[in-house]
Each structure stands twice: as C-alpha cells, then as structure tokens.
C-alpha cells in the first residue's frame, strides 16, 4: 500500500526570464533577507530603550557595513559549501564554483564570513564588534526563513521518507513521500528563532550586554538545525557520517557549544 503524500507544488524556480537573465526565487530570497536585515538593524539602533549608555553603531555606519555583510554572506557561504559539502566536484570543475545562482550555499560558511566581516569592520572603525554581531544575529532569522522557502520551491534539501500526512513527493527524491524538512527549518530557524531573539532584545534588553544576543543565536540556530537534521536527508555526495550523524549536525554542535561558552563568559564578566 503506497504511503500517503501531498502533491508537490509545481512552482518554477525561475520567477522571470529576461533574455539570458533569469531571476530566481533563490536569489530573491537572499536579496529580501539582506534588505530586511538592513531595515531591522537600523530600527534596533534607533531604539534608545534597548541600549545601555555609551556608543553604538550609527545608521550611516550600518549603511556602510551592509556591503561587508553581503560579501561575507556570499563569499563565506559559497566557500563553505565548496569545502565542506562537495570539494572533489568543485576542484574538478572550478568554473562551477562561481555559479552561485544554481544554489549551493552553506549557512555555516556564510555565518563565518559575516563574523569575519563584522570583526574586520569593527576593528577598523573602532566599533564594538560584539554589538555588531548582536545586530547581525537579531536580523538573520528572517533571511533564513526566505532561504528555506526558496529551497522548498527548488525541491532541494528535502527530508527522509515518511508517512506523515504532510509528506511530499519531491521531483528529485524518488517516488516515496518525504518530510518537507525545508519548511521545518523555515519555521524553527526563521520564525521561532526570530521571535526568541526579539524577546531577548525587546523584553530582556540583552543588547545592553554586548555579545549575549549573538551567543543566543548560536545556541538557537545550532539546536534548531540539529533537530531538523533528524528529518532531513544528508547531501548525497556525503551521506551519513559515523554513528548516523550528518554534516549539518557536525557543523552545528560546535556552534551550540561556542554560544554556551560565550554566554557564560559574558555573564560572568558582568557579574
């Protein structure tokens, strides 16, 4: 007896084609996420109730730093994917490394790129690096939400075979119904994490203790990603690691640990 499944919505990954130019949902997800981050961060820094006395980034500096963030996301995300998920293929086909419009971005690599970009910018302009990272962390979940929706539209990063009523038969996933793990990630990494961080910034006022919002993001994202990895199929070129772990778990566990250590050190220093 075949397992129940929902029909996969036939949404074209390309929204508009203008001659050789193709505007894809995947690209629009990154643009929407970055525009939201730009708008939201400027709202945060203008809200005096959220900050302790002392200097903080100005709106003009946020305009400037967004260029650094874009470079960190794109370069870090692509390099991270190339090195962690399919190095043999990309080293054999180096021209495809630059084809980012076809997909293939690593969140962990993008996060490392943003951290490096924020560190360099803060050091160069003598701005609190921890505050910059807090602002970036508070705004990232919405971009993750858009990105996971784009993954779903592309029919990629689908889940494991399942008989849950909301399972889908993905075009590239064979005849079996599978968990829509992209939607799980959109919910946990996007909506839930954004609401948690907004509570921490607007109700617990953690922006007054630089570094705590960033630490909370590391713990929250890493935990959410590890949970979803139990439902998501690992990348076929990697498969499962030792003990049934996945690359996503292996990359997310250090994030959780780093976030917990950072939160402990920051609160201890403030005590």
More confident residue, 27 or 212: 212
**Is the pTM above the cut of 0.75?**
yes
* 2 pLDDT more than 60: no
- pLDDT tops 90 at residue 3: no
Percent of the chain with pLDDT over 90: 76
The per-residue pLDDT for 118 is 92
Residue 27: what pLDDT? 87
What pLDDT, on a 0 to 100 scale, did the predictor assign at position 155?
93
Choice among 12-21, 136-145, 253-262 with the minimum mean pLDDT: 12-21
Report the mean per-residue pLDDT for the chain: 92
Q: Supply the pLDDT for residue 101.
A: 64
Q: What pLDDT score does 209 carry?
A: 95
What digits encode the pLDDT tens for the residues 102-147? 667 899 999 999 999 999 999 999 999 999 999 999 999 999 999 9
Residue % of the chain over a pLDDT of 70: 97
Task: Give a three-class secondary structure readout of the chain.
Answer: CCCCCECCCCCCCEEEEECCEEEEHHHHHHHHHHHHHHHHHHHHHHCHHHCCCCCCCCHHHHHHHHHHHHHHHHHHHHHHHHHHHCHHHHHHCHHHHHCHHHCCCCHHHHHHHHHHHHHHHHHHHCCCHHHHHHHHHHHHHHHHHHHHHHHHHHCCCCECECCCCCCECCCCCCCCCECCHHHHHHHHHHHHHHHHHHHHHHCCCHHHCCCHHHHHHHHHHHHHHHHHHCCECCCCCCCCCHHHCCHHHHHHHHHHHHHHHHHHHHHHHHC
pLDDT attached to residue 54: 81
53 band by pLDDT with thresholds 50, 70 and 90:
confident
């Amino acid at each position: 007896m075949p397992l129940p499944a929902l029909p996969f919505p036939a949404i074209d990954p390309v929204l508009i084609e203008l001659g050789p130019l193709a505007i894809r949902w995947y690209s629009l997800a990154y643009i929407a996420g970055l525009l939201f981050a730009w708008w939201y961060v400027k709202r945060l820094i203008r809200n005096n109730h959220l900050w302790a006395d002392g200097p903080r980034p100005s709106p003009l500096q946020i305009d400037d730093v967004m260029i650094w963030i874009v470079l960190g996301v794109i370069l870090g995300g692509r390099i991270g994917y190339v090195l962690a998920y399919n190095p043999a293929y990309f080293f054999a086909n180096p021209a495809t490394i630059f084809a980012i419009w076809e997909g293939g971005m690593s969140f962990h690599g993008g996060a490392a790129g943003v951290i490096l970009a924020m560190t360099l910018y803060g050091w160069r302009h003598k701005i609190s690096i921890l505050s910059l990272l807090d602002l970036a962390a508070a705004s990232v979940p919405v971009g993750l939400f858009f990105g996971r929706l784009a993954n779903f539209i592309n029919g990629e990063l689908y889940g494991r075979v399942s008989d849950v009523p909301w399972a889908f038969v993905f075009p590239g996933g064979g005849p079996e119904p599978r968990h829509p793990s992209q939607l799980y990630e959109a919910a946990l990494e996007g909506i839930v994490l954004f609401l948690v961080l907004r509570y921490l910034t607007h109700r617990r006022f953690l922006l007054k203790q630089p570094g705590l919002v960033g630490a909370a993001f590391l713990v929250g994202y890493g935990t959410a990603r590890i949970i979803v990895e139990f439902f998501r199929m690992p990348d076929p070129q990697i498969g499962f690691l030792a003990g049934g772990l996945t690359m996503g778990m292996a990359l997310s566990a250090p994030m959780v640990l780093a976030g917990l250590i950072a939160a402990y050190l920051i609160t201890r220093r403030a005590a």
